[in-house]
Amino acid sequence: MASTRDIRRRIKSVKNTRQITKAMELVAASKMKKAQQAALAGNPYAQLLARMLARLAPRLTEVQHPFLNQREIKTRGILLLTTDKGLCGPLNANLFKLVLEVKTPAKFYAIGRKGSQFLARTKRDLVADFSVSDRLAFSEVKPAVELMVKAYLDGEIDTIEVIYPRFKNTLVQEPQVRPVLPLANLASFLAAAQTEAGTPADTNDDRDMLFEPSANEVLEALIPFYVNRHIYQLVLSARASEHSARMVAMKTAKDNATKLLGELTLEYNKARQAAITAEILEIAAAQFATG
Amino acid sequence: MPLTLEIVTPEARVYSDTIDTVVIPTTEGEIGILPGHIPLLTRVADGELRVTKGGVESHLAIGGGFAQIEGDTVSVLAEQAITAEKIDEGVVEAALKRAEEQLKAAPLNIDTSELERLQGAIRFAGVQLALKRRVR
């Protein structure tokens, strides 16, 4: 049996761990609240924007826009959204599994240090990595989007996709590959998302749509705007997932430490009692012998 | 049949209600929407949006975006939107001052998106002030 001193030392270290994980849980919880709010508040906006484009796209058969047309996919462009820091459970590992499934040639872009490290480690074609601060302003995401859009227009990559942890709720974050460009199959993707979310389909109005000032002008403004906004929304969602995952991981760690502490305390008390009993026995035996 | 109006900004859903008519400021001038309007997709300019419901007219200041009319649903995507009652002149004036100062102090090689953001803020502040002063 371990000596009381050893047990005491362990109790102390576990207590320390519990304190740290507890503090980290609280920090993550407060950040989570903000991140979730931001992600959820932006949702209706992003959805409405996507819906507008989805209704617009089929009516634009005569308009040629590089963002709209499907072309032969030689190289996929994938943006990987991960966290900068660890200690957030299986969040990043789940994303990496999705990355490993990509067998076709692809160029990677990363936001988040964990992702760029992973891509470098597995020797994938990492074009650029970006870091964003906790404040997560739109202007921080913009350079990444601009670089990808430029590569897309230059024909270096033939799609823009985003691998990110979709925020469902605090306990569930679902790794997902989300196609952003080209928009050719946007309508079908949206329909699938809508049935999943249980929202009713759009009102059917098959009269010709009017564009002001002109279809081209609206499109020119709307599409780049959509791409920016959309990716930004995904980043927000990823951020909400990160803090949720971290909070849950830290809570589990804290609970574990509490349990371990209980067991150790019990063991310590037993050892202490045993030592006292042994001491009394010794005294009694000594008295008996001399008396 | 009444119209359904929905105004959404990145921060929140600002307005969602059934209404009688709405006047939207677009880049081509103001347009009035009545039920049964032809499907339309247009760019929205910074300006003032008027909603009539049951004979009562209410005003919103809105900052740039897109509007879609389809069936009897009017969806407005705006960078910013605020109802006239919620506009606080003091806050707006402070924001306007801040943005103008930032713009003045900005370096020559300022990021274009940042520049646009500041200009947008100034425009929107102007719209809010104009609206507030007139409605009162």
* Per-residue pLDDT tens over the stretch A202-254: 555 566 777 877 777 787 788 888 888 888 888 989 999 999 999 999 999 99
Q: Is residue A102 part of a domain?
A: yes
Cβ contacts of A143 on chain B, cutoff 8 Å: none
Mapping DSSP to helix (H, G, I), strand (E, B) and coil, where does residue A182 land? Answer: coil
Interface of B with A (CB under 8 A): 6, 8-13, 26-28, 31, 38-43, 66, 68, 70-73, 75, 77, 111, 113-114, 117
- Looking up tokens 């931001």, which residue turns up? A38
What is the rounded (10 degree) CA torsion for A200, A201, A206, A210?
A: 90
Mapping DSSP to helix (H, G, I), strand (E, B) and coil, where does residue B51 land? Answer: strand
Distance separating alpha carbons of residues A126 and B70, to the nearest angstrom: 43
**DSSP character at residue A65:** -
Residues 6+ apart with CB under 8 A from A270: none
Q: Minimal Cα distance from B117: which residue of A?
A: A139
Number of domains in chain A: 1
Q: Is residue A284 part of a domain?
A: no
Distance separating alpha carbons of residues A83 and A104, to the nearest angstrom: 25
Q: Is residue A20 part of a domain?
A: no
Helices B89-105/B112-135 angle, 10° precision:
150
Q: Is residue A15 part of a domain?
A: no
Structure tokens at A19: 């304190």
A191 falls in which pLDDT band (50, 70, 90)?
low
* Per-residue pLDDT tens over the stretch B10-48: 888 888 999 999 999 998 889 999 988 888 889 998 888
Mark yes or no for CB contact A212/B43 under 8 Å.
yes
- The 10 Å Cβ neighbour count of residue A165 is 29
In chain B, what are the domain boundaries? 3-85, 88-135
Rounded to a whole number, what is the distance in Å from the CA of B113 to chain A's nearest CA?
7
Q: Is residue A264 part of a domain?
A: no
Query: Quick one: fold of B88-135?
Result: 1.20.5
CA atoms within 13 A on the CB side of A54: 19
Choose among A232, A235, A231: nearest CA to A82: A235
* Per-residue pLDDT tens over the stretch B47-92: 889 999 888 888 889 888 899 888 888 999 988 888 888 888 888 8
Does the pLDDT of residue A194 top 70, yes or no? no
pTM score: 0.80
**DSSP character at residue B35:** T
Domain B3-85 has CATH 2.60.15.10: yes
Find the mean pLDDT for residues A115-141.
85
Find the mean pLDDT for residues A167-195.
77
Q: Is residue A183 part of a domain?
A: yes
Choose among B98, B103, B78, B96: nearest CA to B132: B96
Across the interface, of B39, B66, B114, the residue whose CB is closest to A209 is B39
Residues 6+ apart with CB under 8 A from A121: none
pLDDT at residue A60, as a whole number: 64
CATH number at residue A189: 3.40.1380.10
Domain that holds residue A74: 25-246
**DSSP character at residue B38:** P
Model-level ipTM above the cut of 0.90:
no
Residue B129 CA, distance from chain mean position: 13
Q: Which residues pair with B73 in a beta bridge?
A: B4, B70
pLDDT at residue A284, as a whole number: 94
Does the pLDDT of residue A145 top 70, yes or no? yes
